[in-house]
Amino acid sequence: MPIWVIAAIIPVALLGSVLLASHGGARGNNRTSTVRLATNVEYKALHDLVPSVEETLKGYALDQRDTAEAVTAEPAAAARRESYDR
């Protein structure tokens, strides 16, 4: 093979590898941007859910408080009734 063919192939191969590497980097940046956008969408959705979860938990706590008060009031009322019966 003549030396000029080898001399022409080497720069073309180097240029091609540089172009492929830079294109791959851009593809990687696009994937990173896509992942970041998807993550931001997830965080936004979770942030929007926080007030409704908070209200649900407040309602649940109120119900549990009422139940606990009723459960603890019964033995006290029964004890008072027994003391009156004696």
pLDDT tens-digit readout, 46-63? 899 999 999 999 999 999
User: What's the chain's length in residues?
Assistant: 86
Considering the entire predicted model, what is its pTM?
A: 0.42
Annotate the chain with three-state secondary structure: CCHHHHHHHHHHHHHHHHHHHHHHHHHHHHHHHHHHHHHHHHHHHHHHHHHHHHHHHHHHHHHHHHHHHHHHHHHHHHHHHHHHHC
**What does the pLDDT read at residue 1?**
66
Q: Is the pLDDT of residue 19 over 70?
A: yes
